[in-house]
Amino acid sequence: MNLWESFISSWQVLYNNKMRSSLTILGIVIGVSAVVFLVSFGRGHEANITGIFESMGANAIYITSASSMTQGMSGATGSITLEDAEALANPNRAPSVALVAPLSEKMTKVVYGNENSTVDIMGATPDIAQVISYPVAEGEFISERDVKRGARVAVLGSKTTTDLFGTENPLGETIRISGTQFEVIGVLEKKGGFIGSADDFIIIPLTTMQSRLLGETSARGRPIQTIAVKAMSTDQIDAATEEVTSILRQRHNIREGEDDDFTIIDMQEILSSMREVLGIMSIFLGSVGAISLLVGGIGIMNIMLVSVTERTREIGIRKAVGAKRRDILRQFLVESAMLSLTGGIIGLTIAALGTWAITGVKLGPYPVQAPMSADIVIIAITVAIVVGLASGIYPAYRAAGLDPIESLRHE
């Protein structure tokens, strides 16, 4: 009996026992569909998070006052000043730094007509649009001229625009921020993110923020909350971090051995940590499905052992008419592999339908992604076949080792 005849014979056996075959492959179906769906969902979630972090600047670092890490966005400031940002922008002192964008934030009430909302107000310079991706959907971004003259102009996030204006065109309209009138000159594209505030903010010139909303001063200069720094390239992030640390420690008169009064946040480092966590999560999710595959493999082995017992006389007849040990061995291995492969294909179909149904659905502020890539499909089918073959080895050897005379006597 050749391999093709073994396939035909195996298919007939499985078809004649449809109910038993269906119940046998159930574990494989659940296992494969769970592995493919959960791994695809995990990869999609990782892609979402990676995109969010990269939109915050792939080669960006953020400097904040050490005290501001616990003060939130109340508007309180610490040791970082605008003069610090100007020092970091000096190419002679920080050659690895490409751009420096000082920031200050404050949560405050914004009013337009009868609509009002509490919004995160960000005082910034035009360079922030190059450090962090802030594409303009309508109008324009704040300019250097706006910063120099302390203009009362505002650029709105997409959610803030919808909350205040609904379907109206906001360009040229006047809003009131903490009682001060501002003209809307631009609307940003929707970014999405972990929380709704990713698009719920207003950007105004930093000088206007300091004079109109904060009004704070310190002995060191004009306080700010954050300095966003863009390195020349991702390879120079470490060098830029060292230069920033050296300049700030010198400016703040921090002696050797003393703790910094500022905190540096490296986006690449955070992204790497997040990817490690997500990788562990993907392994965990995959292991959940792997348990079902193991259970399915045990089910196949059990049913094949039952089949050997039921077909003992048939095996004896085949050996009596010339079937060799390898023919019997191949017959049972093919049957177990076909059971597992059938379950794998059905599980793969269910997973494909599941990923198709969930892709684009919004869980929170961003849509779910669940890309079912070719490598996941190949691995899932291969594992299903391997599980089937592994589960069928012992029953196949047991069948092949039966004595033909004793088998013919079996009732």
Alpha carbon distances (Å) from 116 to 119, 152, 163, 171: 9, 18, 8, 17
Amino acid (1-letter code) at residue 47: A
Helices (H), 152-266: 158-165, 206-208, 237-251
C-beta separation of 222 from 228 below 8 A? no
C-alpha angle 321-326-329 in degrees, rounded to nearest 5: 100
Amino acid (1-letter code) at residue 252: H
Paired residues of 99 in beta bridges: 230
pLDDT tens for the chain, residues 1 to 411: 566 666 776 677 776 777 777 777 888 888 888 888 888 887 777 777 766 666 666 678 889 886 554 444 444 445 788 889 989 988 899 899 988 999 998 899 999 988 888 899 999 999 998 888 788 999 999 999 999 999 999 999 998 999 899 888 999 999 999 889 999 999 998 876 544 457 889 999 999 988 888 766 665 678 888 999 988 887 888 899 899 999 998 888 888 888 888 888 887 777 777 778 777 877 777 777 777 777 778 888 887 777 777 777 777 777 777 777 777 777 778 888 888 888 888 888 898 888 888 877 766 556 777 777 788 788 778 888 888 778 778 777 777 776 666 656 655
Helix 267-310 to helix 26-55 angle, to the nearest 10 degrees? 170
- DSSP result, 293-313: HHHHHHHHHHHHHHHHHHTHH
The domain spans of the chain are 3-53+272-409, 60-232
Neighbours of 58 (CB within 10 A): 17
Paired residues of 124 in beta bridges: 205
Q: Which two tokens stand for residue 218?
A: 């310190």
Alpha carbon distances (Å) from 230 to 6, 93, 264: 65, 15, 13
**List of residues 6+ apart from 308 with CB closer than 8 A:** 315, 332, 395, 398, 399, 402
Q: Spell out a b/e string for 261-276, using b for 16 or more CB atoms within 10 Å of the CB, else e.
A: bbbbebbbeebeeeee
Measured distance CA(329)–CA(324) in Å, rounded: 9
C-beta separation of 343 from 32 below 8 A? yes
Q: Which two tokens stand for residue 407?
A: 């088998």
Q: What pTM was estimated for this model as a whole?
A: 0.61
